[in-house]
Structure 1
Amino acid sequence: MRAAVLYPAAGALLLTALSAAPAGGVPNAAAGSGVALAAARAAQEGIAFGACPRAQDAPAGMQCGTVTVPLDYARPNGKQIELTVSRVRATHRDPHNSKRRVPRQGALVFNPGGPGASGLYFPMIGRLPEWKRIGAAYDLVGYDPRGVGRSAPLSCQDPKRFVKGPSPAPTHPSESYKRERVAQAKAYARGCAERTGGALRHYNSLNNARDLDVLRAALGEDRLTFMGASYGTYFGALYATLFPAHVRRMVFDAAVNPDPAQIWYRNNLAQSVAFESRWTDFRAWIAQHHDVYGLGDTPRKVLRSYERARAMLAAEPAGGKVGPGQLQGALLQAGYYDDYWPSRAEALSAYLKGDPEPLVALAAPAAGAATEAENAHAVYTAVECNDAPWPTDWKVWDRDNTRLARVAPFETWENVWANLPCAYWPAPRQRPLDVRTGSGELPPTLILAAERDAAAPYDGALEMHRRLSGSVLVTERDAGTHGIAGGPNACVNGHLEAYLLEGRLPVRRAACAPHPEPEPTDRAGKAAVRAKG
């Protein structure tokens, strides 16, 4: 998920106002009646759960089925698409008291974000100790949103062309390189239109929220219990705005900024700033463990090691597959999750010491995952481009990001190339919904945020909290993992369980101390042992 919020460090940037774009989408009244009709049909039909499409990968007890939704809610009797849904029933077993039977509280529906991520395997999480109490009380339900995986999948280009390497990923690209990437963005936008046709405009966040209400009805739930992570918090907030009376409980984990003015161009600018800070955190951790990795005993020295590796990979890609772009992508993942820090630091260290294998294993494009990766990117692009106006003049993108790259070079231009097709998008754009609920309209909701999250910076959680009346924000201080529900922080998990199992929230904002930073590991993946002297 590349949507984000502008950190104060970028406040001095003068960003040009977005160019006007047609509203697109459908009238709210027509779409609203279409949702009501589709939900009534789904409630009557239900979901015929059975074996999952890839049963060999499914855990024992996980079932799958489909729910039918209109492609276009303004025409609910027109073309229909099927969403694939997964479920593991509530176990009713208290993990702390085997003699106690836990009453079922309904279905907990989850979306992992993206846009473009599949939630189909979410029910497997009930096996983890941190989730067993929740899995005892709830049916755990995941699904592929429209366009994703087995739910009317989108494609914008041949997957064989999508996954490729090595790539350069310059932090300060030349004018010729920019022209090349502009041409590629135009071609990608054309490919989305050619391969999807008129249906392309219907893959957007408002329809994701409407689909969620149809899924609620199909599950037989009068009111929805939902957990969204990252981008999932955005269309969860749209759902809360559109259907507040249909909400039972909602968890927003790693909340993105729902301010219409931020969707999505400015959010992506802000995310690039936040990743620069998290990249600094990662380098500081590597420097603390210089005795293990030998990459430098200060963040600046670690940066020089990284730049040296980039230069070497530009001259000769590792394994013929990993160039500077693949290295940046692997280290970007460490900006999302700090449990990736040891493996990424070890791969960079080994490469600079003459062994490229760990880096190739982490960063080389996976041909076997090409179809899934291309599909995820197609959905990401379609949803974000359809959701809102974007600048249509390349000069705006160039000026804003050239300025930004001076202070945040690590991710800025790669973020541009991921989103640039939106400048040339062939489908009508929507005006983002003003996410907002008044006092008493919405049941109390829970917002979870890590203070140094780069993919969904903290200001987004603050904005979500301001806009959803009655919400409570729980912050993991001085931590940056993207998504903290059910993770290693017992304090966060305590608030999550109290809310989902008892409907209990803190009276006001709450804070948790950070979970411990990861320990460095040796080449075998074991905790590194330091010599004592």
Structure 2
Amino acid sequence: MRNLARLSAAGASTAILTAALVTPAQATATTWSACPAGSGVDPRQECATLQVPMDYRKPGGPAISLAVSRIKTAKPALRRGVLLIIPGGPGSPGLNRPSVQVKKLPQDVLDRYDIIGFDPRGVGQSSPVSCGLDARDVSFTKLKPYPDADGGIAENVAWSRRIAEACARNGGPLIRHISTRNEARDIDRIRQALGEKKLSYWGVSYGTYAGAVYATMFPQRTDRVVLDSNDDPDPRKVARQWLANYAVGVEDRFPDFAAWAAARDGEYGLGADPAAVRRTFLDLATALDRKPLPWPGANPEELNGNLLRETMLNALYSDTNFPMLATLMRAALTTGELPPSNTPPAAAMQNTAAHAGATMCNDVAWQDAVGSYQQQVRRDRAAHPLTAGMPVNMGPCQFWPFEPAEPVVRVTSRGPANVLLIQNLRDPSTPYSGALKMRQAFGQRARMVSVDSGGHGVYLANGNACGDQTVTSFLTTGNLPARDKSC
């Protein structure tokens, strides 16, 4: 898990930005405090706490806290404003993102913006949410609904019901108010508290959907918008479609790994050509379905077929992960002595699971006939065997006890032409086909940069100079490309 700058519990050590009660001009006078030292925290990063309504329909009601951070530009004379980094997930923290990205962003961008991070409501150092889930329900293969080895979903149905009931029982009032609409409103309170008339931001993965919702709800408050690795904004399905898209994304991306491994067949022994590597993976996953291997320290503590599939999916996020996946497969095929696991422990995923579930279930209703899921899983396992039916399986939203409080946001072309989308052609998580739907939704507001690369995350992530320079130029000049662009 990412290391976070922890806010001190003592009021004197942390500034309070009460955006609900002050004007933007007053907010700029607020004093920030140095973030407590921690691994990876840049000494220039400052921290503060912002109070926002838990329920925006009741602005005078209970408030919750948002943890906010910044690294100011070293050249105030060139400063244009702020660049907010919207984290992915749902459920990923973002407080320490300025410390991470200040090492990567071009100097021209750092000269023009204060870099702003935040933990979304319910996450990390912001007012947290938890469903008090049993450890068995937050194993690494439970965060996505993999079917049983034989394709059955009886355990998924029981798991989905347990999660929904636990969140209703233990989630407290905040669980009802975690949604993408409310994250967009929180972002606007951050803008107000920073004293900015308009906001520039860089959203990645789920952050693209949150950023698109902000640009739809508050179009005239946007300055320069970069959306990186884009979610499909289909207002009928939202996160349900994001889950389904894993089947497409993994099939798009796996050939990159297969070609890489085939070129190193002498080292890993996974197959002499990409087709052979694919067969090796599918056969190994099936064998592990039948007979898992002990894997002490992993979560769960056995390498079964679904844990191999989930490890593969995560490995496809970056080429730098390919050796890890190949080494694991080689060990499972030969000695059975597996390398150390880096799966996060169950306790570390409690907050993520609760926030992700709340966001996905509160944004849009998912209820289908329970029996239809088994049919969908059966078809998807045949069409997309790498993911074995997981993308269309049942989740907790089927039994979620709360109705969505508001209609889903429909992203449209209404607003200024100030949105730049950047997208890998072979993204395992947010595939190109879904990103095209985001491009279509924004219409004349946006341009899209398509990068001939694989992995999840584009800008400053995979060494594509054409794509990186296009985003940097937009952030520093505000000029969109004249038309969509391929890199």
Question: Quick one: which amino acid aligns to residue 405 of structure 1?
Answer: R
Instruction: Give 1:443 deviation, angstroms.
Output: 3.9
Kindly report which structure 2 residues correspond to 1:144-223, keeping only aligned pairs within 5 A, or say none: 144-158=119-133, 160-164=135-139, 173-174=149-150, 177-223=152-198
Q: Which moved more, 1:251-260 or 1:288-297?
A: 288-297
Cα 1:200–1:165 change in 2 (3 A) is closer
Residue ranges of structure 1 left out of the alignment (5+ in a row): 1-35, 93-100, 513-533
- 2:54 matched to which residue of 1? 71
Instruction: Give 1:267 deviation, angstroms.
Output: 3.5
- 2:243 matched to which residue of 1? 268
1:330 aligns with 2:311: yes
Kindly report which structure 2 residues correspond to 1:134-149, keeping only aligned pairs within 5 A, or say none: 134-149=109-124
Q: Which moved more, 1:349-358 or 1:402-411?
A: 349-358
1:361 aligns with 2:336: no
Question: Quick one: which amino acid aligns to residue 350 of structure 2?
Answer: E
Give 1:115's match in structure 2, choosing from 71, 74, 90.
Answer: 90
CA distance in structure 1 between the aligned counterparts of 2:274 and 2:365, rounded to whole angstroms: 38
Question: Quick one: which amino acid aligns to residue 460 of structure 2?
Answer: G
Q: Is the 8 A contact 2:367 2:399 kept in 1?
A: no
Residue ranges of structure 2 left out of the alignment (5+ in a row): 1-17
* CA RMSD after TM alignment: 2.7
1:462 aligns with 2:439: no
Cα 1:172–1:315 change in 2 (3 A) is closer
Q: Residues 112-141 of structure 1: CA distance to partner in whole angstroms, max 9, x if unpaired?
A: 211111111211234435543322321111
Cα 1:202–1:315 change in 2 (3 A) is same
Give 1:51's match in structure 2, choosing from 34, 51, 65.
Answer: 34
Give 1:450's match in structure 2, choosing from 424, 430, 441.
Answer: 424
Q: Secondary structure at the match of 1:472?
A: strand
CA distance in structure 2 between the aligned counterparts of 1:130 and 1:139, rounded to whole angstroms: 12
Q: Is the 8 A contact 1:83 1:145 kept in 2?
A: yes
Q: Which moved more, 1:209-218 or 1:133-142?
A: 133-142
Q: Residues 194-236 of structure 1: CA distance to partner in whole angstroms, max 9, x if unpaired?
A: 1123432210000011111001111111100111011111111
Q: Secondary structure at the match of 2:358?
A: helix
1:401 aligns with 2:377: yes
Q: Secondary structure at the match of 2:84?
A: strand
Q: Residues 87-111 of structure 1: CA distance to partner in whole angstroms, max 9, x if unpaired?
A: 111133xxxxxxxx97112111011
CA distance in structure 2 between the aligned counterparts of 1:215 and 1:133, rounded to whole angstroms: 24
Q: Is the 8 A contact 2:85 2:116 kept in 1?
A: yes
- 1:382 matched to which residue of 2? 358
Q: Secondary structure at the match of 1:361?
A: coil
Q: Is the 8 A contact 2:140 2:344 kept in 1?
A: no
Cα 1:128–1:197 change in 2 (3 A) is closer
Instruction: Give 1:270 deviation, angstroms.
Output: 2.9
CA distance in structure 2 between the aligned counterparts of 1:295 and 1:319, rounded to whole angstroms: 21
- 2:12 matched to which residue of 1? none
Q: Which moved more, 1:310-319 or 1:240-249?
A: 310-319
CA distance in structure 1 between the aligned counterparts of 2:105 and 2:19, rounded to whole angstroms: 38
Cα 1:346–1:507 change in 2 (3 A) is same
CA distance in structure 2 between the aligned counterparts of 1:433 and 1:178, rounded to whole angstroms: 31
CA distance in structure 2 between the aligned counterparts of 1:127 and 1:270, rounded to whole angstroms: 31
- 1:30 matched to which residue of 2? none
CA distance in structure 2 between the aligned counterparts of 1:205 and 1:374, rounded to whole angstroms: 20
Question: Quick one: which amino acid aligns to residue 49 of structure 2?
Answer: T
Q: Is the 8 A contact 2:93 2:124 kept in 1?
A: yes
Q: Secondary structure at the match of 1:261?
A: coil
Instruction: Give 1:309 deviation, angstroms.
Output: 3.8
Cα 1:102–1:480 change in 2 (3 A) is farther
CA distance in structure 2 between the aligned counterparts of 1:193 and 1:351, rounded to whole angstroms: 40
Q: Is the 8 A contact 1:42 1:215 kept in 2?
A: no
Q: Secondary structure at the match of 1:476?
A: strand
CA distance in structure 2 between the aligned counterparts of 1:166 and 1:463, rounded to whole angstroms: 29
Instruction: Give 1:463 deviation, angstroms.
Output: 2.3
CA distance in structure 2 between the aligned counterparts of 1:249 and 1:451, rounded to whole angstroms: 23
- 1:247 matched to which residue of 2? 222
Question: Quick one: which amino acid aligns to residue 97 of structure 2?
Answer: F
Instruction: Give 1:166 deviation, angstroms.
Output: 8.7
Question: Quick one: which amino acid aligns to residue 266 of structure 1?
Answer: Q
Give 2:323's match in structure 1, choosing from 317, 342, 353.
Answer: 342
Q: Is the 8 A contact 1:42 1:214 kept in 2?
A: no
CA distance in structure 1 between the aligned counterparts of 2:248 and 2:230, rounded to whole angstroms: 17
CA distance in structure 2 between the aligned counterparts of 1:470 and 1:462, rounded to whole angstroms: 14
- Structure 1 runs of 4+ off > 6 angstroms? 165-172
Give 1:317's match in structure 2, choosing from 282, 293, 299.
Answer: 293
CA distance in structure 1 between the aligned counterparts of 2:238 and 2:318, rounded to whole angstroms: 24
Instruction: Give 1:466 deviation, angstroms.
Output: 2.4
- 1:82 matched to which residue of 2? 65
Q: Is the 8 A contact 2:331 2:337 kept in 1?
A: yes
Quick one: percent identity of the two aligned structures?
32
Higher normalized contact order (CA 8 Å, seq sep 6+, divided by chain length): 1
Q: TM-score, normalised by structure 1?
A: 0.80
Q: Secondary structure at the match of 2:341?
A: helix
Q: Is the 8 A contact 1:249 1:443 kept in 2?
A: no
Instruction: Give 1:41 deviation, angstroms.
Output: 5.5
Q: Is the 8 A contact 2:424 2:454 kept in 1?
A: yes
Q: Residues 228-287 of structure 1: CA distance to partner in whole angstroms, max 9, x if unpaired?
A: 011111111111111111011100101111121241323422332222332243223212
Q: Residues 397-427 of structure 1: CA distance to partner in whole angstroms, max 9, x if unpaired?
A: 222222111111222533456x610100001
Cα 1:414–1:456 change in 2 (3 A) is same
Instruction: Give 1:85 deviation, angstroms.
Output: 0.8
Give 1:433's match in structure 2, choosing from 409, 416, 424.
Answer: 409
CA distance in structure 1 between the aligned counterparts of 2:91 and 2:344, rounded to whole angstroms: 18
CA distance in structure 2 between the aligned counterparts of 1:475 and 1:67, rounded to whole angstroms: 37
Q: Which moved more, 1:204-213 or 1:444-453?
A: 444-453
Instruction: Give 1:43 deviation, angstroms.
Output: 5.9
Q: Which moved more, 1:216-225 or 1:424-433?
A: 424-433
Q: Is the 8 A contact 1:83 1:150 kept in 2?
A: yes
Q: TM-score, normalised by structure 2?
A: 0.87
